[in-house]
Structure 1
């Protein structure tokens, strides 16, 4: 990983010579976030693959699992999972086919669909999650509790900044 980081720094340095206005520190931080996120995602997906799931599938299953009612509508899931309607339909189909969730019409509004976790879905979550804990702990092992709180606060600030930039009325 050190070699990869050195290569990244050297490459960004060369680009900054060509583009003197390049926001070097922000580019480095962006690349680090992408590198760390990509590595964590790759590790997670390798653990999910034997269960026939990818990150989007598992994230959706976890949102349904963690909801107070054990259910959610596709619209709610699209918003929180940052997925489009077409991809959410694909994800729901995978989870329904795997027996992890059910799809039913809402009793209150027959136009709405409700996705609910099954006993098999709950069992799979209980099987998948605990083996992930050591890697999650290990990724943050060298950080103090204060470091983790600071990182949490800073990443949330960046998320809000990005959200503000992507709003339709955001402009210069």
Structure 2
């Protein structure tokens, strides 16, 4: 059974009860939410043997994809799409696991730098084959051109959301 079918049925009822309800935008937003939850759950299951969860993985990968493996907390929050309070909690957990280290700026001790440790880099490089396999599995039904088109459309959608935030 299509896991999205109950949502579509609820949307049909909503549209019948409130004809002005915008079905297509609601479907898109709900599909994104369902996809996010599934991707998040699948990633958590895959990452569990490595001793990390999906939000920690995102933090590690944002740092791994940065020259020098170093970011400050606000850069990391922006890159990972996390609130600053959540970044503090996540980076504390990753520091406790010795996967990243926190250092104070020599000139201004209020400024903090976060850097992947050698242990963090080694862990990432161990789980990356599993991550690659999961990503390939999750997108297996899409052709390359469809992935390019979906990427373009999602970026367009994100730009619209960013524009709304900038205006509001």
TM-score, length-scaled by structure 1: 0.90
Corresponding position of 1:72: 71
Structure 1, 56-65 or 17-26: larger mean CA deviation: 56-65
CA distance in 1, matches of 2:143, 2:19: 36
Gap runs ≥5 in structure 2: none
Gap runs ≥5 in structure 1: none
Structure 1, 102-111 or 145-154: larger mean CA deviation: 102-111
Corresponding position of 2:114: 115
Structure 1 residue 140: deviation in Å? 1.7
- 1:23-47: CA deviations, max 9, x gaps? 1111111111111121111000112
What secondary structure, in the 3-state scheme, does the structure 1 residue paired with 2:124 have? helix
Corresponding position of 1:125: 124
1:9-158 correspondence to structure 2 within 5 Å? 9-107=8-106, 109-158=108-157
Structure 1 residue 70: deviation in Å? 1.1
Deviating beyond 6 angstroms after TM superposition, the runs of 4 or more aligned structure 1 residues are none
Structure 1 residue 113: deviation in Å? 0.8
Structure 1, 27-36 or 48-57: larger mean CA deviation: 48-57
TM-score, length-scaled by structure 2: 0.92
What secondary structure, in the 3-state scheme, does the structure 2 residue paired with 1:141 have? coil
